[in-house]
Amino acid sequence: MSGKKILLDHGSGGLASQQLISDLFLKYLDNRTLRSLEDSAILDNKPGRLAFTTDSYVVDPIFFPGGDIGKLAVHGTINDLAMRGAVPYCLSLGLILEEGFAMDDLERIIISISEACREAGVPVVTGDTKVVPKGKGDKIFINTSGIGFVSEYVDISSKNAKEGDAVIVSGTIGDHGITIMTRRAGIAVQGDLHSDTMPLHTLVQKLLRELPGDVHTLRDPTRGGVATTLNEIAESSGLSIELSDEALPIRPQVRAACELLGLEPLYLANEGKCLAIVSGDQAQKALAVMQATAEGREAAIIGKLTAGKAGRVVINTPIGGARVVTPLHGLPLPRIC
Amino acid sequence: MCLAIPMRVTSVQGDPDDFTTNQIATVDADGIGRQIRLDIVDHWPAVGDYVIIHAGFAIHSLVEEEALKNIALLRELAENTPEELLS
Amino acid sequence: MKYLDEYRDSSLAKPLVEELRRAVTKPLRVMEVCGSHTMAIFRNGIRSILPDGMELVSGPGCPVCVTSASHMDAFIGMADRPGVRVAIFGDLFRVPGSQGSLSEASSRGAKVEIVYSPMDALDLAINNPGELVVFLGVGFETTTPGIAATILAAKNSNIKNFVVFSTQKTMPAPMEALLSDPALQIDGLLCPGHVSSIIGAGAWEPLAKKYHLACVVGGFETADLLKSLILLARQIGTGDIKVENVYPRAVAWEGNQRAAKMVAEIFEPADMDWRGLGRIPLSGLKIRDKYAAFDAEVRLNITLPEAKEPKGCLCGNILKGMNTPRECPLFNSRCTPSNPIGPCMVSSEGTCAAYHKYGQDE
């Protein structure tokens, strides 16, 4: 515990900034490109088309069971690339730090980022740090942009979902959302709740290799949960989606916490899961491929695309009834009624 | 108006007749636990009992007998429904 | 989850679906008193398979829906005061007053904290001695005893910076007000399960007798709901009208006396404003003088602002079961879940929200 804090000087570009870079960032994120510390990273071209994405991370709390804001930032951007079938190549890392932020916490996050990058095989090649006065930020905000390359033969998009396609989710739902929600004072519960944050690019590549042409859409159901993402897919493809309540994979702890607080797993964020829309006749094969991976062990077929009112998602209940699943309109909130 | 769920009592504290003591229980369901209050529960529970919880307060101590009665009530119809209607 | 999953099991519930079809022998109109019942019935898909002849209307048992606009405005006014932190159930966060919601107040810097339990609000007060923590009290008999216990705990621990703004309401009173209106024609009541845990199944007997209403006290799981509807249909079909308790695992005939005692210690009956229903005598609860130190209205010298109901909003009639959401000119056009005009749309169990969310294919 050093007790050292981030100062405005650390964002000024002067010696304090240089020191932060060499003592902290390069210590953990070191690679040839980053080390050169140029204004831009010059990269080699790869075959295929360029994929480019950006995301910002402002999660509170910044440390939570299963991860932290840094890990989330790396995985989130890798996954955005993977969802278009791109092989992630590299990341940028932009930090906005609040004056007074603990240096130890920053170090912990940078270590976490470096581990996530190393495990995923995707380096940070360029970065930036700014510091804002105390009260003008919330400890740390992170932006990661990512570049990847996608083969000429791969065309994955929400628009491509077809009637008869199966909806597969790569694992249990609601894990991340409920973990973050229950970290707040006044809503705390004890138990094994942890974020599911993880990179999915390896799983996706396996799926694309085994089922070329049959994977029509990939989406990661982050904010708004599976319900909101499926509504977007239904809307983009002009089709309806029919789900089965009984098929949804949910951890018992997640379900119990949701029951207690009046929340629904379908609407809670996931950070290590993807929805795959695949040709109906390849559904079982796709499921087997996913279940054979570490990331997709608990994958399940949860529904299908049907003709019908465009943009509509319904879920069939165990007694043979049905209800409409609308997208989330704001943040999910615990309730007593 | 009322989200309330049954959870199992894992510890009990306080004196039911003395509201200056903290009347608290810890409860559990499927590995999720929380501290809740016993100030308004009808019957003081023992460890292992189930209580129905609303907004952090136990509103009722569930008695096994009542639960069995409830299931029987719901089942009596199920059992009396002729086979041909069950498809 | 034990004592929950068994009642959702489809092997128990499916036969009841067929039985419900057989039980409806003449047309009937049942009021779901409780908003949670409205929502559960939609959520389980029971709405989509309801037999012809059985009509369900939603009643006033949605605490957020019946919170008057002037109370909402007072809540928001409180949140905007410096040095004050308001603590609320999540249900209240997006409810609109006549000018905005607590969510909007939060966006302009008001301290609005969402809690799961009123005791969490008391903890907030203990951990933030420099602030006045105001717990915004809404709810019916299920919720009130916990709020009462929290006030008692605050007194016993000598906490000086915790107050409650009570808009607590009681159930049988508005039902009397609704049922005495001949325009409301219902044959039976699906009585709220958890309110009945506190007040007892027997509390519905006077209404049942006076208005010749079939009354069934039901739980919230699939089998509970189906069974409740079956019994209501049977009572109305045969004319054998009474109060039946089909939730014995949570509800006793005489209710929870200990909870009732706690409420009587802290609160006394008072007239209360109900959104859409107006002022109903002795339908609410006010904190007794003995506990005035914990009464937000006394400590902060609050006068309730006069608030206007939004034009065209039919929430009042919807709460009375006189209109369905589709009959409201604002439903799904100007009034949607992302832009709610009235409380019936904001509350997750509000009739309009439930219709919008679950009933779109009707």
For A147-203, the pLDDT digits (tens) are 999 999 899 999 999 999 999 999 999 999 999 999 987 788 999 999 999 999 999
pLDDT above 70 (res A313): yes
Inter-residue contact A277 to A236 (CB < 8 Å): no
CA-based nearest residue to A76, from A307, A291, A269, A311: A269
Q: Residue C243 pairs with which residues in a beta bridge?
A: C215
Mention every residue, 6+ apart, whose C-beta is less than 8 A from residue C351: C35, C38, C58, C62, C65, C318, C319, C324, C325, C344
pLDDT digits (tens, 9 = 90+) for C207-260: 999 999 999 999 999 999 999 999 999 999 999 999 999 999 999 999 999 999
Interface probe for A, chosen from C114, C144, C147, C346 (most Cβ of A below 10 Å), is C114
Distance CA(C21)–CA(C16), nearest Å, equals 9
Distance CA(C325)–CA(C304), nearest Å, equals 29
Give me the residues of C, 22-81, that contact A with CB < 8 A: 35-36, 42-49, 62-64
Predicted local confidence at residue C358, as pLDDT: 65
The answer to whether B33 contacts A335, with C-beta atoms less than 8 Å apart, is: no
Percent of chain C with pLDDT over 70: 98
Nearest to B31 among A188, A192, A336 (CB): A192
Predicted local confidence at residue C202, as pLDDT: 97
Distance CA(C177)–CA(C337), nearest Å, equals 29
Predicted local confidence at residue B86, as pLDDT: 45
CB of B70 within 8 Å of a chain C CB? The answer is yes
CB of B20 within 8 Å of a chain C CB? The answer is yes
pTM of the model as a whole: 0.93
Predicted local confidence at residue A36, as pLDDT: 86
**What was the ipTM of the complex prediction?**
0.93
What average pLDDT does range A69-88 have in this prediction?
Answer: 98
pLDDT digits (tens, 9 = 90+) for C45-101: 999 999 999 999 888 888 888 898 899 999 999 999 999 999 999 989 988 888 889
- Determine how β-strand C188-191 pairs with β-strand C214-217: parallel
Nearest to C349 among A324, A330, A337 (CB): A337
Residues of A in contact with C117 (CB under 8 A): 186
- Determine how β-strand C278-287 pairs with β-strand C267-274: antiparallel
What average pLDDT does range C24-33 have in this prediction?
Answer: 93
What ranges in A165-301 are assigned the alpha helix state H? Answer: 175-181, 201-210, 225-237, 252-261, 283-291
Predicted local confidence at residue C177, as pLDDT: 87
Predicted local confidence at residue B85, as pLDDT: 45
Inter-residue contact C94 to C348 (CB < 8 Å): no
The answer to whether B2 contacts A191, with C-beta atoms less than 8 Å apart, is: no
What average pLDDT does range A46-74 have in this prediction?
Answer: 96
**Model confidence band, residue C312 (pLDDT cutoffs 50, 70, 90):** confident
What average pLDDT does range A277-285 have in this prediction?
Answer: 98
What average pLDDT does range A70-90 have in this prediction?
Answer: 98
